Amino acid sequence: MKVKNKALLSCINIGLAIVWYSCLLSSAFLLFTFAKHACTSAYHEFTIPVYLSSTLERYYPEIIVRGSNVSVHANSGIVVISNQNPLMEVPQIIFTLLRSLLTIGILYNLRKVFGTIYRQEPFQYKNIRRLKVTALYISLFFVLDLIWTATNYLVLKNYNYLVLKSYHRIEKFHTSWHFSKGYLEVAAIIYIMAEIFNYGLELKRENEEFV
């Protein structure tokens, strides 16, 4: 059983190392690509996922598949705002940088924690701090998504105003304010794990003092 556990922990360590270096390389590549495009491209784009206030089903004929009705709902899409202002790409660069830093921070702490588990030294106060910091970083993804959605909303609000001002009959776009609670749930689980580690350390310390 110990051999199997050792092999599993070894695989986790190797996997985390692969993900760690892949994340570093991909983050550097993405940031370099975005920065190069912002500095050299003649036109700059800001992409926003959007929903329509009413569907476009009337443009699609009814489709019959083996006697079943298939309805097509064309109520979502992407708005690409393009102009010659390089500042248009700054929000995307900042957002990518912050997400990359958070991901790197999470992987760094998890590698440290699993390294101590692999060495059979898991009960350390450093691990408690690392797990709590990891929980904080994961919860910040929810905050980033909130800020990014608000940014999309403000840009789209101005875009809608300009478009509606020029073309009075165009349908208005809007953004979705639905957020996934998965980040907060995972952060809560990791924080609970940190408290369990803390409780185990306290019991260990009390037993050592008693002996």
Q: Provide the pLDDT for residue 123.
A: 75
Query: Distance between CA 149 and CA 9 in Å, rounded?
Result: 38
Q: Provide the pLDDT for residue 138.
A: 94
When pLDDT is cut at 50, 70 and 90, the band that residue 117 belongs to is confident
Express each pLDDT in 160-187 by its tens digit.
666 655 555 455 677 777 777 889 999 9
| Residues facing 82 on adjacent strands | 45
- Ranked by mean pLDDT, the top range of 11-25, 129-143, 157-171 is 129-143
When pLDDT is cut at 50, 70 and 90, the band that residue 141 belongs to is very high
Q: Provide the pLDDT for residue 1.
A: 46
Length of the chain: 211
CA angle 181, 184, 186 (to 5 degrees): 105
Which has more confidence, 154 or 184?
184
Express each pLDDT in 56-96 by its tens digit.
655 555 556 666 566 566 677 777 777 777 777 888 888 98
pTM across the whole model: 0.76
Handedness of CA 29, 30, 36, 39 (dihedral sign): negative
Q: Provide the pLDDT for residue 143.
A: 92
Q: Where are the alpha helices (DSSP H) in 80-124?
A: 90-118
